[in-house]
Structure 1
Amino acid sequence: MTDTLKIASWNINSVRFRIGIVEQFLKNEAPDILCLQETKTVDETFPADAFRQLGYVHQVLNGQRMHHGVAIVSRVPIAEDDRLDWQANGEARHVGVRLGNGLRLENVYVPAGGDIPDRDLNPKFGQKLDFVERMTRWSEGLDVPTLLVGDFNIAPLECDVWSHKQLLDVVSHTPIEVEALGRLQAAHGWIDLGRRFVPPPMRLYTWWSYRAKDWAASDRGRRLDHMWASPAVAEAAVAHRVYEDSRGWLKPSDHIPLLTEFRL
């Protein structure tokens, strides 16, 4: 049997409030590493013991009170590598680690960008575009095998949203965001693992709004969460899954976890 490494990513929308479903996911799927976004807690109140009890003794945290926050918890040794301020304002939106096999794992939470897709009318939208541009410049200089995961807050393809036509003017699917993400992907030759395993035009969503009375019935989803790999890393990927049923768990996040399995 081939040895594999399983890496998961999940915008949990408050890790303390939703620790129950995090534990459920870890017990069911047993990833080796879990990258979390929007943890919404400072490092001192991160539920570290709950993860340790399940074997995730290696933890790298970059927390922030009430908003943002990212973390990587692991059953295999990891070493903290970087905390990049792509927002250029001190927000806790990134943490990176290196694994013993030389893989660089970067966990990012891209800003949502507000409601109006106009840099002049909505500074948050400009900040989002600038964030992606800084990631693009960083990607150009990468020279080691890297896996970039997280909540990108952009659904790039027409089949990544429930209605391409109705969402063209909605932040997360506007042409300017899609073009920015395309430049980011080209800057390092990133391979979109989600669409490698679930090719277009197949439906693939990772987020459903809390506003829907019945998220599953309306199914107005978007693919905001991604796993991108350097070409050599992508070649080692043997499976990719999204856990859509978790959107219906008790006290769910509006995002669902993704998991990619790699051949060692």
Structure 2
Amino acid sequence: MQLVVTTWNVNSVRLRLDHVARFVAESKPDVLCLQETKCPDDRFPLSAFRSLGYAHIAINGQKGYHGVAVLSRLPFAETRAMGFCDKNDARHIAVTLGKEAKQAAGITIHNFYVPAGGDIPDPAVNPRFAHKLAFLDELMAWTGRERPAAEPSILVGDLNIAPYETDVWNHKALLGVVSHTPIETSRLEEWRQTAGWVDAVRHLKPEPEPVYTWWSYRSPDWAAANKGRRLDHVWLAPSLQSTLQEAHVTRDTRGWERPSDHAPVTVTLDF
């Protein structure tokens, strides 16, 4: 059995419904995890996704901001959502695949949307950056309490941090830019390593190969300039590392009309 899982910050699920439909027609993931859906739960386009073959849907949304969703061809045994930093801002949803998923049964998929953090990398003067650091601290505390990577599990999402030097187009130029500052990259790596998660993309495409998943809307010719960052991630529990067969970024979506500034990241597991 193969399990194909995609994560994508779609930057408004209703605005880019046609993009999602085009992507799933071409790539056919079994499970599609979306971030920044910007959609309250009662307005989520459930029927459209069911018509695309995703009968099982878990959502945690709000009006205008944030929001996460998991669309699946495989049934769920359980769903849940966590809140962080005393905010109900729709940044997490988790599903556990049911027994009908056969070899993949019991795998839990955590879908996160970590705060971006604003523009100034100083928590003393930028509340949004302070929120981001506090969110990372609470993720570390969650790891200590629940040890999610000790069970078969996958963590995906827009983590809004590019941890390695070749995860950004210019390491030195971006050291003072939110998403690649040392305080962020060190905390993200500490969290990943403490929990034991395996960075799926970097496991198959180790440094120094550049890998990007995001290109700014501000770039007048994003493809030629290629000033990207790897903000979107897929991490695996150690027990799933041997099943990892493929990991790739679908860069072409960034060139579609009125695109998301993020591209989908897909992994294939073989059981």
Q: TM-score range by the shorter chain?
A: over 0.9
CA offsets 1:54-81 (integer angstroms, 9 cap, x no match): 1101000101000000000111101343
Matched, 1:117 2:121: yes
Quote the residue 1:78 is aligned against.
76
Question: Which digits, 9 at most, give the CA deviation of each residue in 1:9-57, with x for residues without a partner?
Answer: 0000000000111000000011001000000000111111111111101
Question: Aligned residue for 2:102?
Answer: none
- Give matches, 1:36-185, under 5 Å: 36-100=34-98, 101-140=105-144, 141-142=146-147, 143-185=150-192
> In 2, distance between residues paired with 1:198 and 1:134?
29
Q: Can you list the C-alpha shifts for 1:113-168, whole angstroms capped at 9, x where unaligned?
A: 01110110111111101111111121233242110000000000000000001100
Deviation for aligned residue 1:86:
2.2
Q: Does the 8 Å contact 2:117/2:128 carry over to 1?
A: yes
Amino acid at match of 1:7: V
1:187 CA displacement: 1.9
Structure 2 letter corresponding to 1:109: Y
Using the size of structure 2 for normalisation, the TM-score is 0.95
Equivalent position amino acid for 1:223 in 2: R
The residue aligned with 1:249 is 256
TM-score normalised to structure 1 length: 0.97
CA distance in 1 between counterparts of 2:18 and 2:96 reads: 28
2:7–2:156 CA contact under 8 A, matched in 1: yes
Q: For residue 137 of structure 2, what is the amino acid of its counterpart?
A: E
- Structure 2 CA distance for aligned equivalents of residues 70 and 216 of structure 1: 27
Does the CA-based 8 Å contact 1:104-1:145 persist in structure 2? Answer: yes
Runs of 4 or more, structure 1, over 4 Å off, are: none
Aligned to 2:32: 34
8 Å CA contact 1:208–1:255 kept in 2: the answer is yes
Shift of 1:263: 1.1
Q: Is the 8 A contact 1:137 1:187 kept in 2?
A: no
Contact 1:112 1:128 in 2 (8 A): yes
Q: CA RMSD in A?
A: 0.9
CA distance in 2, matches of 1:4, 1:145: 15
Q: CA deviation at 1:90?
A: 0.9
What secondary structure, in the 3-state scheme, does the structure 1 residue paired with 2:49 have? Answer: helix
Q: Is the contact made by 1:60 and 1:80 (CA closer than 8 Å) also made in structure 2? A: no
Identity of aligned residues (%): 48
Distance in 2, matches of 1:45 and 1:51, equals 13
SS in 2 for 1:126: helix
Q: What stretches of structure 1 of length at least 5 have no aligned partner? A: none
Counterpart secondary structure, 1:25:
helix
CA contact under 8 A between 2:151 and 2:239: conserved in structure 1? no
Q: Secondary structure at the match of 1:20?
A: helix
Deviations 1:219-244 (A, max 9, x none): 11000000011111122111111101
> Structure 1, residues 172-201: CA drift from partner, whole Å, max 9, x if none?
000000111011112211100010111101
